[in-house]
Amino acid sequence: MASTNNMKIHYGSLIGESPSFLRAVNNITIFSSSDATLLLLGETGTGKELFARAIHYHGLRNPKPFVPINCAALPDHLVENELFGHARGAFTDAHSEQRGLLAEAQGGTLFLDEVNSLSLSAQAKLLRLLQDKEYRPLGGSMARSADVRVIAATNSDLLKQVQARSFRQDLYYRLRTLHVHIPPLRQRSEDILLLANHFLNEYSLQYNRGRTFFSTTALEKLQGHDWPGNVRELQGVVHQAILMCGSTVVSDQDIALASNDTAPLILSGATLRTRKACAIAQFERTYLTELLSANEGNISNAARQAGKERRSFQRLLRKYGLSRASFLKSA
């Protein structure tokens, strides 16, 4: 839990004590009191959605909806429909009126992750929304007021995209009215062990493993890694380690980093239950990855093919930290 000015504040899963992280967290307190558009900048896996939620829940709009949307997952031709909804009869299959995500977020916060993925035409629509605070559902005759705070996030250098003319300059400046840079994990190495222990406790609870610890060599291995995938990578490594670990102590052999992920999958000394859980986890992860890949990130199709209900399929994806966005054709 982050602490600033000697005050313990609840920030969901934002955990850290390093100065660069605390600076970013401190901005949450400041920017929460504003209603201005905010841009979160940070590499993939740094926790941009966690920051967006923290800002929402510490702001004036906290009793209202928080609606996250991954722009990379939005096909260009559906952007307007998803965001603004449509009126009955707007197109051939529009048999009834459908609310868009803006209507779902009314009064609250709309979080646009990977905003850099929006096409130029979608960017124009977003800009118009930010400027006019109004939108018109597809096929609708009346403009509707959009009472939402927009928080956008990107892991790419938007200024470079502006220079390359793939991102609108006017939208860039509109979005970055307020901005927060979230530091990568390698720049907050003081937080690695704090986060690792937090995830270890979470997964110990999830798998009913009782109190579990890292060995000294495991801690050294974690501390020495560069973490290009940031906190999300660390979380995944700890998740696998707890499955691999056959005792209450997670050793360095249980830690499979990207550079040495050829470590033996089944460790000697592990119980049947542990080995089975590990094998199932590995199978499920591979299966889901292949399935999403084959279906180009379409969750409904993948769930149908797997013979699972969509929500329980999404639950599985969450369990293995798999994001549909990574499997889209354009990704």
For residue 251, the minimal CB distance to another protein (Å) is 24
Q: CB under 8 A: which stretch of 97-105, 164-172, 251-259, 288-296 binds another protein?
A: 97-105
Whole-angstrom distance, CA of residue 311 vs CA of residue 280:
20
Burial 153-162 (b: 16+ CB within 10 A, else e): bbbbebeebb
Q: Which of 17, 37, 64, 139 binds another protein (CB under 8 A)?
A: 64
Give which of 185, 265, 271, 180 is closest to 228, Cα–Cα.
185
73 binds another protein (CB under 8 A): yes
Burial 279-317 (b: 16+ CB within 10 A, else e): eebeeebeebeebbeebebbbeebbeebeeeeeebbebb
Q: Which of 16, 45, 59, 85 binds another protein (CB under 8 A)?
A: 85
Whole-angstrom distance, CA of residue 306 vs CA of residue 220:
40
Looking at beta carbons only, is 37 or 106 nearer to another protein?
A: 106
Both tokens assigned to 151: 């928080």
Most distant CA pair in the chain, distance = 69
319 binds another protein (CB under 8 A): yes
Q: Which of 20, 189, 215, 314 binds another protein (CB under 8 A)?
A: 314
CB count in 10 Å sphere of residue 134: 12
53 binds another protein (CB under 8 A): yes
136 binds another protein (CB under 8 A): no
Residues in Cβ contact with 252 at an 8 Å cutoff, skipping those fewer than 6 apart: 215, 217, 218, 220, 221
Whole-angstrom distance, CA of residue 158 vs CA of residue 162:
6
78 binds another protein (CB under 8 A): yes
Q: Which residues pair with 144 in a beta bridge?
A: 135
308 binds another protein (CB under 8 A): no
Q: Which of 74, 150, 151, 171 binds another protein (CB under 8 A)?
A: 74
Q: Which of 25, 39, 55, 69 binds another protein (CB under 8 A)?
A: 69
241 binds another protein (CB under 8 A): no
Q: CB under 8 A: which stretch of 94-102, 178-186, 209-217, 246-254 binds another protein?
A: 94-102
Q: CB under 8 A: which stretch of 35-43, 127-135, 273-281, 314-322 binds another protein?
A: 314-322
232 binds another protein (CB under 8 A): no
Q: Which residues make up the interface to another protein (CB under 8 A)? A: 10, 12-13, 49-50, 53, 57, 62-70, 73-74, 78, 82, 85, 98-101, 103-105, 107-108, 202, 205-206, 208, 300, 310-311, 314-315, 318-319
